[in-house]
Structures are given as structure tokens and as C-alpha cells.
Amino acid sequence: MLNSNLPESELLKSLLQPLLEDFQYWFGRSRDLLETKEISFLSQQQQSDLLARVKHAQSEVSTVEMLYKATGGQAGVETAALIPWHRLVMECWQVGMRFRLEQSTEQKQDKETQD
């Protein structure tokens, strides 16, 4: 639970900093997946487009992090800017889950044919 007695800058720091770190983490994982794996249920164009959107979002998050640090934690982010990042993370999660599910299913089938 948040402490309502925290000064505004401390409240911002306790919320924004971890949120930005989470976005960077998930965009990094997604970028790694999209750059290193062929995702069978996406066309090359869809995969390329998703990768481009992830790279763009990473750049935006990095810019916000730099501004936040440059202002000593006094700069914030409008919720409207966070919503597209959140949606993109959700889309990447769905792609990642489906990819892992398909990989798991393929491995099971391979094992069954070997037995």
C-alpha cells in the first residue's frame, strides 16, 4: 500500500522508476525473442513490425529515464504515454506465451515419436 504522507517526488520515484525498469525488462526480452527466433505464427512482416514497435518503445522509455534522472526525479510521465507501452507489453506477452506453448508442443510430439 502506498504511503500518502510521502512527498510527491518520493511517490513519483517509488512508482515511476520500477515501472520504467519493468518496461525496459519486458521490451528487452521481447526484442531478444523477435531478433533470435523465427515465430511461425507471425509473417516476416508482422514479426518485423512488432520488433520495430518494441525498439521504438524502448527508445521512448530510455528517453523518459534520461529526463527523469536529469531532473533529479522531478519529471513524470503522463498516463497517456504509458498506455501504449502497456498494450505493447501485453501483445509481446501473448506472442511469447504462444511461441513457448508451440515449442513445448513440438518437443512433446518429437519425444512421443522417438518413444
**Domain coordinates in residue numbering, the chain:** 12-107
Supply the pLDDT for residue 1.
37
Supply the pLDDT for residue 79.
87
What is the Cα gyration radius of the chain?
A: 19
* CA separation for the pair 45, 51 (Å, rounded): 10
pLDDT along the chain (115 residues), means of 10: 54 84 97 97 98 98 92 84 96 97 84 72
- pTM for this structure? 0.83
* CA separation for the pair 35, 4 (Å, rounded): 43
Q: Where are the alpha helices (DSSP H) in the chain?
A: 8-36, 44-70, 79-114
Q: Work out the angle at residue 50's Cα, subtended by the Cα atoms of residues 103 and 97, and round it to the nearest 5 degrees.
A: 30
* CA separation for the pair 18, 24 (Å, rounded): 10
